[in-house]
Amino acid sequence: MTAEKDARRRLLAPTLQMLPRVKDSLSFLYVEAARIVQDDTGVCAQVESKRGIEKVEIPTASLSCVLLGPGTSITQPAIATFSRHGTTLICTGMGVVRCYSGILPDSMKTTWLERQVRLWSADADRLQVAYKMYEKRFKDEEVPEGTPLSKLRGMEGDRMKALYRAYAQRTRSARFRRSYDPANWDAQDPVNLALSAANACLYGVAHAVILALGCSPALGFVHTGKQSSFVYDMADLYKAEVTIPLAFSLHDSDNPEPAVRRKLREKFRLVKLMPTMVKDIQQLLDPDTKPSEDDDIDTELISLWDPDAGALPGGVNYGEDSW
């Protein structure tokens, strides 16, 4: 019987070619007050209810990230399964208010990380990426060439104020004022609660995409000084389209936090956030890149650096003497 179970586990174990690309993944799963375990068929969340312990199967290979909220525990075999499937685990606070840490899979290459580091470490190149990020925010608005970065920050501030004002008038939330107070969380109005929870989920998804591409969440081009600087850079590109209108649509909700998380999944799917974010990161870091829809997963996991050749295959003995 033990041999049959071992054979079944080997058959179910994913190969690199079987794993979905990050742009094809589901966005996120938020888990709170549950125990995540590995059983004979996969990973599941165990939840206590009046009917006893109920099990909910988790589609590990199709998830980009799993947000672990308070009251959640996870076993080591479950973590190992998430890692094999390339699923990022992110530990969050109550209501996904804060992102505390992330566990990334060991299967990604460093191609995009190296491009990110080169651009980030040269001020002129970093400035060009920052310009591109502001241009993506303004979309059809013309940004005069040579506009100082300080001016772009002011333009972005005015744009966000106008956006809040327009949605407040549309939903008759005339007294709305954007505020974020973790110390007095429950006293906030529904729009602010929904917006903070939605942005936290957006940060989690951006964090997962960045890690799945092998980039560093800390090396931001607009933001700086935090381990999630690049996460904030990328999330800011989509707030006006995704989280802000959704938060204002819940202005009269009695329980906006869980409501906005449920609606976000559908919103992310409708705007194709995952493939869009992957494409945007790649184009920001390498404007000439043209990702192919049919690219195979590269099974070469490590290379050796060479100043002339660039990269050499790993796992090769380069000694001159033959044995």
User: Does residue 273 surpass a pLDDT of 90?
Assistant: no
Question: What residues contact 62, with CB distance under 8 A and at least 6 apart?
Answer: 20, 25, 26
Mean pLDDT confidence for 273-298: 73
Mean pLDDT confidence for 72-84: 92
Q: Where are the beta strands (DSSP E) in 233-276?
A: none
pLDDT confidence of 249, banded at 50, 70, 90? Answer: very high
- pLDDT tens figures, 190-213: 898 899 889 988 988 888 788 778
Mean pLDDT confidence for 222-235: 94
| Tokens 């549950």 sit on residue | 34
Distance from C-alpha of 123 to C-alpha of 37, rounded to nearest angstrom: 46
Nearest to 66 by CA among 90, 45, 92: 90
111-285: CATH topology: Four Helix Bundle (Hemerythrin (Met), subunit A) (1.20.120)
| Spans of all domains in the chain | 111-285
pTM for this prediction:
0.70
Higher pLDDT, 99 or 268: 268
pLDDT confidence of 295, banded at 50, 70, 90? Answer: very low
SS3 label, residue 285: helix
Mean pLDDT confidence for 316-322: 63
Q: Specify the pLDDT at position 94.
A: 64
- pLDDT tens figures, 111-150: 899 999 999 999 999 999 999 999 898 876 777 777 888 9
Q: Specify the pLDDT at position 133.
A: 93
Q: Specify the pLDDT at position 3.
A: 63
Q: Specify the pLDDT at position 220.
A: 96
User: Does residue 75 surpass a pLDDT of 80?
Assistant: yes
DSSP 8-state secondary structure symbol assigned to residue 184 = G
Q: Determine contact, residues 133/233, Cβ cutoff 8 Å.
A: yes
Distance from C-alpha of 263 to C-alpha of 240, rounded to nearest angstrom: 16
DSSP string, 4-69: HHHHHHHHHSPPGGGSPPGGGSEEEEEE-S-EEEE-SSSEEEEEEETTEEEEEE--GGGEEEEEE-
Name the token pair of 275.
Answer: 């493939």
Q: Specify the pLDDT at position 60.
A: 86
| Sheet with 73-74, side-by-side order of all strands | 52-57, 43-49, 35-38, 73-74
Higher pLDDT, 33 or 21: 33
SS3 label, residue 310: strand
Q: What is the mean pLDDT of the chain?
A: 80
